[in-house]
Structure 1
């Protein structure tokens, strides 16, 4: 009888140890599926230049580990961005800066494209010069 009690006591201690290690590992574990539903901004091909700064701000504010950023991105990419991401080799597709650079390049959002956009911006008749200047500054 005493041996049986000793065995039960050992089992209870082992279960406690297992539950303690599970709690510790869960606190260190990053669940991208849960984080995706909560915070990733919606990707829109028309405003790719504004997407990455917004994404980075949210990722920093929510303390997402940077190695998981590309996982979060690929889940919202669509169109040309999704094609670019899937075409990248696996070692490059896990690097956020590389993915960002390739997507921006695909949408031709390089410095020269920004210059052309800035130069081609025209004032509408309904705008005041102050409104036009504010819009032009915002488009940079």
Structure 2
């Protein structure tokens, strides 16, 4: 309602209430002013409410964009890890083939000279990268054991060989073991698996929290969960 309409409304009402002259004019002015102030307050509340809604919308959009960026980064990291795993698997197969070939050569030499010296760890030592991701220590130890078996290392030397490939927290854990435990590969393996959540309890927890990855089909998810 416009200000002119308010004057007309309250003028008519004031006359009906028996007001006249200056009293009527003062009363009408007060009523119109009160209505206009109420209207201004209502407009201000509406304006603030709209600003708040717009601010909430902007913040929600920013949060959504941030979530999208984080998901993209996680996807990129997963793809990089998968590519790295594939490269390491190819390298492992190559080393295993080399080891088998060398074992055949050594077998031929041994048949010719049984008393001849056996190849040592130092001669046969393959190039294995250090443990960089402790969360995958189970896969790393399996890879290490394949190398050790393929190259014929005596298990009594496994713990010593493995210690040269540990770093940071994993190395600190190894150094905290007693000399007897530190020379026992099975003891070292057990402690590392337990510390980095790759034992029975750790895998149970991971299994219960596993979720499908982006663009991952159901069959791939089931195999990864298994």
Q: TM-score, normalised by structure 2?
A: 0.44
| Consecutive aligned runs of 4 or more in structure 1 exceeding 3 Å deviation | 39-42
Between structure 1 and structure 2, the one with the greater Rg is 2
In structure 2, the partner of 1:42 is 130
- The answer to whether residue 195 in structure 2 is matched with residue 134 in structure 1 is no
* Greater percentage in helix: 2
1:111 to 200, 204, 207: 200
- Could you tell me how far apart the structure 1 residues matched to 2:209 and 2:222 are? 13
Q: For 1:7-86, list aligned pairs within 5 A.
A: 27-28=117-118, 30-32=120-122, 34-36=123-125, 38-44=126-132, 45-86=134-175
Deviation string, structure 1 residues 29-71 (Cα, Å, up to 9, x no partner) = 6243x444x2435323231111111111111111111111111
In structure 1, the partner of 2:55 is none
In structure 2, the partner of 1:11 is none
- Could you tell me how far apart the structure 2 residues matched to 1:25 and 1:102 are? 39
Aligned residues: 112
Gaps of 5+ in 2: 1-113
Alignment RMSD (CA, Å) = 2.4
Checking the alignment, whether the CA contact within 8 Å between 2:135 and 2:197 is kept in structure 1 is no
Checking the alignment, whether the CA contact within 8 Å between 1:49 and 1:109 is kept in structure 2 is yes
- The answer to whether residue 176 in structure 2 is matched with residue 87 in structure 1 is yes
Gaps of 5+ in 1: 1-23
Q: TM-score, normalised by structure 1?
A: 0.68
CA gap 1:74/1:68 in 2 versus in 1, 3 angstroms = same
CA gap 1:84/1:125 in 2 versus in 1, 3 angstroms = closer
Checking the alignment, whether the CA contact within 8 Å between 1:84 and 1:103 is kept in structure 2 is yes
The one of the two structures with greater contact order (alpha-carbon pairs below 8 A, sep at least 6) is 1
